[in-house]
Amino acid sequence: MAGTALAHPNIALIKYWGKREAGANVPATGSLSITLDALATRTRVEFDATLARDELLLDGKSDPFTLARVTACLDSLRAIAHDARRARVETRNDFPTAAGLASSASGFAALVTAASAALGLRLDRRTLSKVARRASGSAARSLCGGFVVLHAGRDDDDDPAAQPLLAANEWPLSVVIAITTRAQKETGSRAGMQSSRGSSPFYSAWLERADHDLAIAQAAVLARDFAQLAEISEHNCLKMHAVMQSSRPPLIYWNGATVECMRRVRELREREGAQVFFTIDAGPQVKAICVPEDAARVAAALGEVPGLESVLTSGIGEGARALQTEEIA
């Protein structure tokens, strides 16, 4: 039996950057994200008793590095199902992989959803979110739609799951994504977080204020307070990049167009009255979150930034879901 699923990437407004020492991939900072409806990963998983090992095709190509992470993730589900069969996994992104567009988030959210369907498991979203989190922290959030919170691990809960905060239609914001390059990033988030924890002099300050930033952002979302969400999100994003840039060796994910997009977003807000703010993950792309009425002019303004590859606009989407079809092409 095969299972298929679709999941969207999400972008964090309050960032997860850093892991706790103990536990299975447990975030040291809580995060708040929005799930994007314009981008999607589709995944098909088929367990087959004749396979000696798992197989993976990612956008039509084999990928040994990702395969090891896929196998570790499937092992958790095989243990729950008491089923040792290996699987054939085929997954497609309709956007560039590993370029700061959260392909690991949608990828692992789609994987756990498709694999649990293929195994006939009826796991609730919390359990799927925990299994996805062990593979990629941000993937835990793509199980849910709308505005989503993933708390940091604590001594009394070192296995957190993401929780929905507000549904997509309860505050329908737009996200303009400025793609500054399609090249894959040099340092993945796992290695980057480890380096920051061990070498950035700002890391402890980052951890200290994380709960505070998350609480302000959660209150802003529940109150639909755009200005408050804008202020805390940009601040939190720039703090994370300060930690990245002050790591040794430095993690500089930005290029010239990234910086120019940030400047332009601030100008749109402060001088031209648009309701917009930026955020940037571990990559060079800039995501401008705005009210839907301002999306066209934000997209037009960012489209004029020199060196930009392309601009696309997304709404807020739903969580990962199993598909009724056997095909993903």
| Interacting residues toward ligand PMV by CB under 6 A | 12, 15-17, 31, 104-105, 136-138, 189-190, 281-282
Give the nearer residue to ligand PMV in terms of CB position, either 217 or 282.
282
CB of 231: closest distance to ligand PMV in angstroms? 18
The pair phi, psi for residue 312, each rounded to 5°, is: -135, 155
CB of 9: closest distance to ligand PMV in angstroms? 9
Give the nearer residue to ligand PMV in terms of CB position, either 74 or 139.
139
Closest CA to 129 of 82, 76, 166, 171: 76
Closest CA to 32 of 53, 10, 54: 10
How many C-beta atoms lie closer than 10 Å to residue 190's C-beta?
Answer: 15
Give the nearer residue to ligand PMV in terms of CB position, either 45 or 210.
210
Non-local CB neighbours of 154 within 8 Å, separated by 6+ positions? none
Contact 106, 41 (CB under 8 A): yes
Contact 70, 183 (CB under 8 A): no
CB of 265: closest distance to ligand PMV in angstroms? 18
CB of 33: closest distance to ligand PMV in angstroms? 6
Q: In 18-102, where does DSSP find H-type helix?
A: 64-81
Give the nearer residue to ligand PMV in terms of CB position, either 6 or 162.
162
Give the nearer residue to ligand PMV in terms of CB position, either 2 or 28.
28
CB of 27: closest distance to ligand PMV in angstroms? 8
Closest CA to 55 of 43, 42, 70: 70
Give the nearer residue to ligand PMV in terms of CB position, either 12 or 128.
12
CB of 178: closest distance to ligand PMV in angstroms? 16
CB of 25: closest distance to ligand PMV in angstroms? 8
Give the nearer residue to ligand PMV in terms of CB position, either 78 or 287.
287
CB of 126: closest distance to ligand PMV in angstroms? 18
The pair phi, psi for residue 91, each rounded to 5°, is: -140, 140
Interatomic CA distance for residues 193 and 186, integer angstroms: 13
Residue identified by tokens 């390059």 is 181
Give the nearer residue to ligand PMV in terms of CB position, either 121 or 207.
207
Interatomic CA distance for residues 11 and 287, integer angstroms: 8
CB of 226: closest distance to ligand PMV in angstroms? 21
Closest CA to 34 of 136, 166, 209: 166
Give residue 70's Cα distance to chain centre. 17
Closest CA to 88 of 38, 135, 39, 50: 50
Cα end-to-end span (Å), the chain: 18
Q: Torsion over CA of 258, 259, 263 and 266, rounded to 10 degrees?
A: 60
Give the nearer residue to ligand PMV in terms of CB position, either 121 or 187.
187
> In the numeric block, which tokens belong to residue 277?
């703010």
